[in-house]
């Protein structure tokens, strides 16, 4: 029996995708072995790779002057790779917005290679909101501008896309494919797969092609977007199973109506939960109303001595992984694309019942 899974990542995958993978596991496409056991350069796998790219291009309407990269090292690999790939030109500094733990990790990494200018920070209110653009201190000559559109731990989502002078770089790990995005406003978009794309072990990068020649000269080969782009993301052996499963998720997304359908569904799911939280004195959301994430919904119980019981009983009710991140405590429900509306309905019903019994 599959339960409702609210894990922040690795997260729920669509059940039809898992079933297809299961059916094809031993004998994939009549090849006589699994997709994991064939060469990444075989014609069969090449088709998987090409279709995954094309489906992602279709879903996000990626313009032709952008390269789609399937990368390793997760999103962490990418926020480490960004300064290597973009600080080799004339401009040696970068702008960053500090909105929480993922932004902070990216900032720390960039500081090792260049000057980092913190354009705005939400630290003053414990990272509970997305800073408004009117208070920014953008630098005149940054190589790029980095932000985290959705902070997975804090549950803070930008309600707008920053308009900036330098190429805009976005960590979309926990928001990609949950709504349409104007890709042409960005220089580089990246995302670890294990939330809205597929299993962990692969990351997606979408880079504007004029940014492929800005790398530091001594960039490690494995971090270079140019090497990845020139080698069709196969400069070394890629994580073929994760790539294949991501491709199945893209096809599933298309069949669901694409990112437009996901945008409508994610609003419906998150509103259901936020409306319930706002009506209750027993639970509350720590995030500013205009910055509340559609993907990750942190909430707290007014009496935190009930946290343990809440987690135990929710688990028993078939609602998995509601514990907040270890650094912040409380609860968090992640509502990625593969989490159905029924899961959120079941969660709200459980929460109402728990409140009745303990309030």
> Which residues make up each annotated binding site for pyridoxal 5'-phosphate?
75-76, 102, 152, 171, 194, 236-237
Residue number, 9 or 286, with CB nearest to ligand PMP: 9
In whole angstroms, the minimum distance from the beta carbon of 17 to ligand PMP comes to: 19
Residue of 62, 75, 215, 338 that binds ligand PMP (CB under 6 A): 75
Residue number, 9 or 298, with CB nearest to ligand PMP: 9
User: Cβ contacts of residue 175 below 8 Å, gap of 6+?
Assistant: 149, 150, 157, 196, 293, 294, 295
The window from 35-43, 166-174, 224-232, 258-266 that contacts ligand PMP (CB under 6 A) reads: 166-174
User: Cβ contacts of residue 217 below 8 Å, gap of 6+?
Assistant: 88
CA 223 distance to own-chain centroid: 19
Rounded to whole angstroms, how far apart are CA atoms 107 and 133?
19
| Spatial contact of 89 and 98, defined as CB atoms under 8 Å apart | no
Indicate which residues carry an active-site annotation. 102, 171, 195
In whole angstroms, the minimum distance from the beta carbon of 175 to ligand PMP comes to: 8
| Spatial contact of 270 and 335, defined as CB atoms under 8 Å apart | yes
Helix axes 307-316, 341-358, angle to 10 degrees: 130
Residue of 102, 144, 274, 354 that binds ligand PMP (CB under 6 A): 102
Q: Which contiguous run of DSSP H or E holds residue 308?
A: helix 307-316
Residue of 174, 266, 291, 314 that binds ligand PMP (CB under 6 A): 174
| Spatial contact of 340 and 329, defined as CB atoms under 8 Å apart | no
The window from 13-21, 72-80, 84-92, 350-358 that contacts ligand PMP (CB under 6 A) reads: 72-80
Residue number, 322 or 351, with CB nearest to ligand PMP: 322
Rounded to whole angstroms, how far apart are CA atoms 50 and 200?
20
Annotated binding site: 41, 75-76, 102, 152, 171, 194, 236-237
Residue number, 102 or 186, with CB nearest to ligand PMP: 102
In whole angstroms, the minimum distance from the beta carbon of 154 to ligand PMP comes to: 10
Rounded to whole angstroms, how far apart are CA atoms 285 and 135?
25
Residue number, 74 or 88, with CB nearest to ligand PMP: 74
Rounded to whole angstroms, how far apart are CA atoms 175 and 349?
26
Q: Is the dihedral of CA 103, 106, 108, 114 positive or negative?
A: negative
In whole angstroms, the minimum distance from the beta carbon of 172 to ligand PMP comes to: 8
Give the strand pairing for 93-98 and 115-121: parallel
The window from 68-76, 123-131, 159-167, 272-280 that contacts ligand PMP (CB under 6 A) reads: 68-76
Quick check: 314 binds ligand PMP (CB under 6 A)? no
Structure tokens at 266: 């994610």
Residue of 5, 148, 246, 314 that binds ligand PMP (CB under 6 A): 148
Quick check: 192 binds ligand PMP (CB under 6 A)? yes
Rounded to whole angstroms, how far apart are CA atoms 165 and 242?
36
Residue of 5, 6, 9, 189 that binds ligand PMP (CB under 6 A): 9
Residue of 53, 109, 157, 171 that binds ligand PMP (CB under 6 A): 171
Annotated binding site for L-glutamate: 41
Quick check: 258 binds ligand PMP (CB under 6 A)? no
The window from 14-22, 170-178, 257-265, 326-334 that contacts ligand PMP (CB under 6 A) reads: 170-178
**Among residues 78, 200, 202, 55, which one has the least CA distance to residue 144?**
78
Quick check: 173 binds ligand PMP (CB under 6 A)? yes
| Spatial contact of 3 and 188, defined as CB atoms under 8 Å apart | no
Rounded to whole angstroms, how far apart are CA atoms 1 and 24?
21
Quick check: 152 binds ligand PMP (CB under 6 A)? yes
| Spatial contact of 24 and 30, defined as CB atoms under 8 Å apart | no
User: Interface with ligand PMP by CB under 6 A: which residues?
Assistant: 9, 74-76, 102, 148, 152, 171, 173-174, 192
């Amino acid at each position: 029996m599959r339960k409702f899974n609210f894990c922040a990542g690795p997260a729920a995958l669509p059940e039809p995708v898992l079933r297809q993978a299961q059916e094809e596991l031993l004998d994939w496409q009549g090849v006589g072995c699994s997709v994991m056991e064939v060469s990444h350069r075989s014609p069969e796998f090449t088709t998987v790779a090409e279709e995954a790219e094309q489906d992602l291009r279709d879903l996000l309407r990626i313009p032709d002057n952008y390269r789609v990269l399937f990368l390793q090292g997760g999103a962490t690999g990418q926020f480490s790779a960004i300064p290597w790939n973009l600080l080799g030109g004339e401009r040696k500094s970068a702008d960053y917005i500090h909105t929480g733990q993922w932004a902070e990790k990216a900032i720390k990494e960039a500081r090792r290679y260049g000057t980092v200018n913190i354009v705005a920070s939400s630290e003053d209110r414990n990272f509970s909101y997305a800073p408004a653009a009117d208070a920014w201190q953008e630098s005149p000559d940054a190589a790029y501008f980095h932000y985290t559109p959705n902070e997975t731990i804090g549950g803070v989502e930008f309600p707008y896309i920053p308009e900036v002078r330098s190429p805009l770089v976005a960590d979309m790990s926990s928001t990609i494919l949950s709504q349409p995005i104007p890709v042409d406003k960005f220089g580089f978009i990246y995302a670890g797969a294990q939330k809205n794309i597929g299993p962990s072990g692969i990351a997606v990068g979408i880079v504007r092609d004029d940014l492929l020649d800005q790398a530091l000269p001594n960039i490690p080969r494995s971090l270079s977007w140019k090497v990845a782009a020139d080698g069709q993301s196969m400069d070394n052996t890629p994580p073929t199973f994760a790539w294949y499963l991501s491709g199945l998720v893209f096809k599933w997304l298309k069949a669901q109506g694409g990112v437009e359908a996901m945008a409508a569904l994610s609003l419906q799911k998150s509103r259901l939960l936020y409306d319930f939280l706002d009506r209750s004195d027993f639970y509350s959301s720590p995030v500013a109303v205009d910055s509340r994430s559609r993907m990750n919904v942190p909430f707290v119980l007014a009496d935190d001595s009930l946290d343990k019981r809440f987690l135990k009983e929710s688990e028993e009710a078939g609602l998995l992984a509601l514990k907040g991140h270890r650094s912040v405590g409380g609860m968090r429900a992640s509502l990625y694309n593969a989490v159905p509306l029924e899961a959120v309905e079941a969660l709200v019903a459980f929460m109402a019942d728990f409140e009745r019994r303990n309030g």
